[in-house]
């Protein structure tokens, strides 16, 4: 009987330690790279900005908080801020991508006007459509 | 006489172009420090508009754009504390009320900003020092102030109350603002 109680206590303590360790691991975890996650929505930069310009609330419901893969032309790269905008000079609103700080740099040779695919989490609309944790997926044919 | 008045008005406005600068890449960050934990988050996509003629500053930021080092903390911030779905943006509208800034002359100017911050659906008054740098026609600005989450009806659960400071330091670094016509 004593042996059974001792085994029960030992197993309970072990389970508690493991659960605590797992909770601590989850708490300390940084955001998972979007390179390892699939896009929920794919669209063009024009389509995404047009949706927010037409009806910000409806577009917010559809896109905000989702992983969006956007195809568009590089408008400007801000290396110091690690930001990239997609669109062109005729765009009323651009796609402003805050690039993830992990190992996913924008290749140096990509210039303004190059068509690229960027994956990021849509955070809403503020003068531009904003994506964060954005990662470079690929360069596309013009 | 009326024609003369209109002419003077038109002439004055054509010779004094509006002095207005904007950026969509301002950095807004906040910092909470307690004995148990230091928490920092930053948003690199803030909007700032400075109108030198009117001596006004407008700033806005998307709450979901704040990036934390810990994913779970970011989730709690958006879902439980600032309720980003209900209140997606924070806005600030204010005036420069301190030392005069010579917007067209290179230099560093320490001034004051007075205005209203709308956060979590609650308006609060903010007064803070700001440093404006004018260099070769371009402009940048830094400002720092503190807020109390309680003043903006941001409820912190008792279980984490000791981990989050009652006073949060907010820092704004605009980077270079672009002059707009």
What letter does residue A66 receive in the DSSP assignment?
S
| CB contact set of B174 (below 8 Å; sequence gap of 6+) | B23, B26, B27, B46, B48, B139, B140, B141, B142
In chain B, which residue's Cα lies nearest the Cα of A123? B64
pLDDT at A117 over 90: yes
Cβ of residue A26 closer than 8 Å to a chain B Cβ: yes
Report percent pLDDT > 70 for chain B: 90
Q: How many CB atoms lie within 10 A of CB B180?
A: 11
B89 with A32: Cβ contact below 8 A: no
CA–CA separation, B168 vs B172, rounded Å? 13
Q: Which of residues 93-122 of A touch B (CB under 8 A)?
A: 96, 98
User: What are the tokens at B20?
Assistant: 């207005």
In chain A, which residue's Cα lies nearest the Cα of B87? A124
- Distance from B85 to chain A by nearest Cα, in Å? 9
Contacts of A124 in chain B (CB under 8 A): 62, 64-65, 88-89
Q: Classify residue A53 as exposed, middle or buried by CB count within 10 Å of its CB (0-12, 13-18, 19+).
A: middle
Lowest mean pLDDT among A87-96, A99-108, B107-116: A99-108
- Domain residue limits, chain B: 19-180
| Rounded average pLDDT per 10-residue block, chain B, 181 residues | 52 58 95 92 96 95 95 92 96 93 93 96 96 92 96 91 92 92 69
| CB contact set of A42 (below 8 Å; sequence gap of 6+) | A68, A69, A70, A71
Question: Which backbone phi and psi does A60 adopt, to 5 degrees?
Answer: -60, -45
Question: Which backbone phi and psi does B54 adopt, to 5 degrees?
Answer: -90, -5
**Average pLDDT taken over every residue of chain A:** 89
CATH 2.40.128.110 is held by the domain B19-180? yes
Tell me what pLDDT residue A91 has: 81
The total number of residues shown for chain B amounts to 181
What letter does residue B52 receive in the DSSP assignment?
T
Give me the interface pTM, i.e. the ipTM.
Answer: 0.82
Lowest mean pLDDT among A15-24, A79-88, B38-47: A15-24
CA–CA separation, A134 vs A121, rounded Å? 7
**pLDDT tens digits for range B63-102:** 999 999 999 999 999 999 999 999 999 999 999 998 889 9
Tell me what pLDDT residue B149 has: 95
- Distance from A113 to chain B by nearest Cα, in Å? 20
Q: Please state, in angstroms and as integers, the Cα–Cα distance from residue B138 to each residue in B13, B105, B107, B171, B175, following that order.
A: 22, 10, 11, 21, 10
Angle, in degrees to the nearest 10, between helices A45-54 and A56-63: 130
- Distance from B111 to chain A by nearest Cα, in Å? 26
User: Among residues A61, A90, A85, A93, which one has the least CA distance to residue A134?
Assistant: A85
B47 with A127: Cβ contact below 8 A: yes
pLDDT at A141 over 90: no
- H or E segment to which residue A95 belongs: strand A95-99
User: What are the tokens at B50?
Assistant: 């400075």
Q: Classify residue B161 as exposed, middle or buried by CB count within 10 Å of its CB (0-12, 13-18, 19+).
A: exposed
What letter does residue A106 receive in the DSSP assignment?
P
């Amino acid at each position: 009987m004593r042996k059974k109680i001792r085994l029960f206590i030992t197993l309970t303590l072990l389970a508690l330690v493991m659960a605590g360790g797992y909770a601590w691991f989850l708490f300390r975890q940084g955001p998972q790279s979007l390179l390892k996650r699939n896009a929920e929505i794919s669209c063009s930069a024009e389509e995404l900005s047009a949706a927010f310009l037409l009806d910000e609330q409806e577009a917010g419901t559809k896109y905000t908080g989702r992983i969006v893969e956007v195809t568009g032309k590089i408008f400007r790269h801000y290396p110091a801020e690690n930001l990239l905008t997609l669109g062109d000079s005729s765009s009323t609103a651009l796609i402003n991508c805050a690039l993830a700080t992990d190992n996913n740099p924008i290749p140096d040779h990509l210039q303004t006007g190059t068509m690229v695919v960027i994956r990021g989490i849509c955070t809403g609309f503020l003068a531009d459509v904003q994506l964060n944790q954005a990662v470079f997926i690929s360069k596309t044919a013009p | 006489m009326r024609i003369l008045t209109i002419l003077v008005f038109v002439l004055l406005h054509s010779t004094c172009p509006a002095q207005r600068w904007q950026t969509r890449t301002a950095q807004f960050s906040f910092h909470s420090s307690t004995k148990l934990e230091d928490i920092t988050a930053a948003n690199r996509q803030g909007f700032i508009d400075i109108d030198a003629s009117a001596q006004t500053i407008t700033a806005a930021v998307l709450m979901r754009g704040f990036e934390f080092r810990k994913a779970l903390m970011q989730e709690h911030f958006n879902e439980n504390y600032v309720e980003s779905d209900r209140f997606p943006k924070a806005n600030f509208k204010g005036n420069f009320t301190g030392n005069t800034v010579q917007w067209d002359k290179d230099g560093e100017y320490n001034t004051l900003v007075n205005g209203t911050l709308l956060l979590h659906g609650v308006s609060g008054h903010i007064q803070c020092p700001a440093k404006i740098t004018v260099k070769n026609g371009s402009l940048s600005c830094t400002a720092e102030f503190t807020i109390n989450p309680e003043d903006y009806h941001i409820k912190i659960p008792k279980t984490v109350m000791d981990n989050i400071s009652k006073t949060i330091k907010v820092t704004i670094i605009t980077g270079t603002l672009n002059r707009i016509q």
